Structure 1
Amino acid sequence: MDGSAVQISSCGRNEARSLWLRQRVAILRNNPNFCQASFEYAHGIVGVFEGQYMANKVMANAARQVICMAIAAMHYGRDEVHHGASISNLQHVTTELGLCSKSTTAATVNLLENIGHVTRVKDEADHRSHLIEPTGQLVSVLHDIIAVCLSAADRLFPLRRYRALLDSSSGFLERYFATSLHSLFDIEPLIIEDRRSRLFATSDSGEMLLCKLMAGRTERDQNVVSLPFDEIGHLYGVSRTHIRRLMKKAETEGMVRLIDAGGRHIELLPPLKEVFNNIVASHIAKVQFDIHLANEDYDLLPAELCA
């Protein structure tokens, strides 16, 4: 077994970690400030992705998001044994999680390279192979997403000042990436195990569009929002038809009710809010886990991982 395989195997599903993340999701959702945190999360994600065609292209669905996160994790977590991200170990991650095929993983890496978000370099330990390294562009996108999660975490736990860590000069982001592969194998299945959550997670720009729906709520009417398919499609780099099909599927699943044609008025039903809250809590739980692991701050983590 080569170093890359060892790295992936050591980050496979861990019972203690998985249990902690599930329990953490429940704790977060019971926090009295969770509703406000999730609302701010929705606005934060809209701010990161709305009108940003390239960012949307990079993070279009769960598979691409995982590939991008895994590239950063393997790159910053490399050592004498683990040399970084390769096509083969990225393919292992996506197939292990059931997100996409090996060919789709390879095609995604090609896309990321073509738009300047990754680069290939010779593996000094094996000149027959290339490693996939993140560029500043990819790190910038990941930084912005992590910042949204940290801001939401600060709303829930203001005394911990999570967001301030990201702007510190202590190499926090690199440490964060280096440890983030550990929780990836547990949190992604948690998000997509529910059919309704999977609908948004695996659809192109699905999670961004879900955040747009949830951010559209107002004090006057918390349940009816506007999502005009033509205008929104342009902002998120997807077609009107794609959004219409996504909303039709969501309606079939009992998550929304399409009041007017073209997305002018959409009623948000309780199951959609449940899906959204689980996705937000899952992302915050992952960020909390990775932060505490990166900083060797073990007060919240399972004892089995702190030995």
Structure 2
Amino acid sequence: MERAEIERLAGGPLRLAYEDIVNHPRLAEARKVFLDRFLALYSGDPYTVRLLIESGRFLVYHIAGVLDAGVDPARRETWLTIKRLKQEMSLFGLASDRHIDGLIARLCSAGFMDLEPAEQDRRMRILKPTEKLKAHDRDWLAAHVAPLAVLYPEHDYRAIMHHDPQFHALYRRISIGVLPLAASLLLSLPDTLLFFNHAAGAVVQAELLRTAMMMSAYPDAAVPYADVGRRFGVSPTHVRQLLIAAEAADLVRLHTRGGRHVQILPRQWASYDRGMAVGMYLHDLVYVATERALQPADARRPTTVE
């Protein structure tokens, strides 16, 4: 997207630039906060990890929540149908129609979504995220905004950090316009996608990096495959194959069997920080747009990126 189009989505000039985030001197501190919050969200809950932590699974849940926030019962084109969900999913190109159908069925059976006839037209079936999904999304969003609060304490992120449901609903409604930008930025991060495209890949990666940051042998880590698999509900073989793929991409070096000595290479740290900075850039953009949307027109004070 051109900058003018991004500023239109933000409701005015941008507050943060991606380059400033990724080059921030406290980025490693923000990374530690994010890893702690992200892993706390899923630790001890392998079922949710298996259900949501993989690109196609996550995007079904995430995009459904975003689109639901923009539903206007009087406007049929805004209804959250399976067809519309698949259209938005196609921006990311990470799941087939058949795969999406299966994921929707699993989310419904797990109580994260309902599929019901539309009140205005009983011939059409509408997806509806449940309060269980919305509560999880508020927790997820707070974890992803937490590193912004570390880097920019002068900015007020309390509405998301305190799980304000009204602010969250408007934030997600505004997020609809940002989906194409989010898709293009995500697809520009091949190292992130290597983990994201595997079941539990994102939490395995997070555990690997947090362990390395906490160990005296930093930047190396010990992540026994069996322990990690048990924690996140995947097999030791799955964890091993994921890290073998990461080694082939020059992200790690595996020095002993079983994951007991994993060397984190510079490319992994740099690519993870780039992906995290992309997320922070998008979250701040939508946060500012939400704040502006809540302000009276004559009270809006644009802030600019020099």
Task: Give TM-score, length-normalised by structure 1.
Answer: 0.86
1:170, distance to aligned residue in structure 2 (A): 6.9
2:84 corresponding residue in structure 1:
89
1:254, distance to aligned residue in structure 2 (A): 0.8
Residues of 2 paired with 1:105 and 1:15: CA distance? 32
Shift of the 77–185 alpha-carbon distance from structure 1 to 2, 3 Å rule, reads: same
Shift of the 220–15 alpha-carbon distance from structure 1 to 2, 3 Å rule, reads: same
Match of 1:229 among 225, 236, 239: 225
AA partner of residue 271 (structure 1) = R
Report the secondary structure of 1:180's partner residue: helix
Q: Which moved more, 1:70-79 or 1:191-200?
A: 191-200
Residues of 2 paired with 1:206 and 1:165: CA distance? 26
Q: Does 1:264 align with 2:260?
A: yes
Match of 2:41 among 48, 53, 75: 48
Question: Are the equivalent residues in 1 in contact too, given 2:225–2:236 (CA < 8 A)?
Answer: yes
1:301, distance to aligned residue in structure 2 (A): 7.7
Match of 1:76 among 69, 80, 86: 69
Q: Does 1:104 align with 2:99?
A: yes
AA partner of residue 52 (structure 1) = D
Residues of 2 paired with 1:283 and 1:250: CA distance? 21
Percent of residue pairs identical: 20
2:179 corresponding residue in structure 1:
184
1:247 corresponding residue in structure 2:
243
Shift of the 180–229 alpha-carbon distance from structure 1 to 2, 3 Å rule, reads: same
Structure 1 residue runs of 5 or longer lacking an equivalent are 1-12, 303-307
Deviations 1:78-123 (A, max 9, x none): 1232443211011112222211111111111111001110011222
Task: Give TM-score, length-normalised by structure 2.
Answer: 0.87
Shift of the 170–272 alpha-carbon distance from structure 1 to 2, 3 Å rule, reads: closer
Deviations 1:175-230 (A, max 9, x none): 11111122222223322323322201211111111111111122623211111111
Q: How many residues align?
A: 289
Deviations 1:146-178 (A, max 9, x none): 111121110011111213444265711111111
Shift of the 265–90 alpha-carbon distance from structure 1 to 2, 3 Å rule, reads: same
1:276 corresponding residue in structure 2:
272
Question: Are the equivalent residues in 2 in contact too, given 1:183–1:289 (CA < 8 A)?
Answer: no
Report the secondary structure of 1:280's partner residue: helix
Match of 1:126 among 116, 121, 126: 121
Report the secondary structure of 2:17's partner residue: helix
Structure 2 residue runs of 5 or longer lacking an equivalent are 294-300
Question: Are the equivalent residues in 2 in contact too, given 1:40–1:152 (CA < 8 A)?
Answer: yes
Q: Does 1:295 align with 2:291?
A: yes
1:160 corresponding residue in structure 2:
155
Cα-Cα RMSD: 2.3
Report the secondary structure of 1:126's partner residue: coil
Match of 1:37 among 12, 17, 30: 30
Report the secondary structure of 1:119's partner residue: strand
1:235, distance to aligned residue in structure 2 (A): 1.0
AA partner of residue 201 (structure 1) = F
Residues of 2 paired with 1:54 and 1:167: CA distance? 26
Residues of 2 paired with 1:277 and 1:107: CA distance? 33
Match of 2:136 among 136, 141, 145: 141
Residues of 1 paired with 2:92 and 2:304: CA distance? 23
1:130, distance to aligned residue in structure 2 (A): 1.1
Question: Are the equivalent residues in 2 in contact too, given 1:179–1:294 (CA < 8 A)?
Answer: yes
